[in-house]
Amino acid sequence: MPYAEGDPAPDELDATGIDAVVEAFAAAARRAVRLGLDLIEIHAAHGYLLHQFLSPLSNLRQDAYGGSLENRMRLLLRVFDAVKAAVPESMALGVRISATDWVEDGWDLVQSVELAKVLDARGCHYIHVSSGGLDPRQQISIGPGYQLPFAEAIKREVRMPVVAVGLITEARQAESVLAQEQADAVALARGILYDPRWPWHAAAELGAQVAVAPQYLRCTPHGLDKLLVAQQ
């Protein structure tokens, strides 16, 4: 199905195509290992392919990959298992999901919790909880921390760490998420694009320290002599 009226319609993957997608994820993971990366996050949110298989709004398949929740989760779980088998245990492996489509009868929090439990049992190292992006009919109630309730609900059901995201822009706001145990970590995207030194500024506001390359020590702000320390 096309995303919106007038968009080109994608082809439906056959069994050979699905196998190729799974192997492509595993091959990318092997390249990540060779590059020396420390973490892989499988993107199954925001209307990308794996999210399209999860959501009943976009997955109208009549085979083993469509219909029931178990079937709609099948591709993501195959990808996860293939990637996990391709990397050493020392590499962190997480999954990013949209907790809800924000559309009636779409992917929702209840299904997300079930998916999170399955991933947790399979040895997923963390889950990153976002939302939306699949359907132009989405009605999103946007406000500071508007996706936090999803992360908090999933955190209650799994052992693995849960990452929260979504209009978390201020240092004390982010700190409160951790202090109140709504999530185990906070991710920032647009906030970092706007202010690449956001972590430094947050550390200054919260009285923490940042380890930096020695050449940056000269930019320590007046009155914050203990903010920056040389990286070992």
Active site residues: 48
CA separation for the pair 228, 208 (Å, rounded): 9
124 neighbors 73 (Cβ within 8 angstroms): no
Residue 162: name the closest of 124, 131, 134 by CA. 124
The residue type at 188: L
Which region, left, alpha or beta, applies to residue 78 given φ > 0 means left and ψ of -120 to 50 means alpha?
alpha
The total of other beta-carbon atoms located within 10 Å of residue 8's CB is 7
Nearest alpha carbon to residue 79 among 40, 135, 108, 132: 40
Instruction: Please state the separation of Cα 26 from the chain's center in Å.
Output: 18
User: Cα dihedral sign for 46, 92, 125, 191?
Assistant: negative
Separation between Cα atoms, residue 53 and residue 208, nearest integer Å: 43
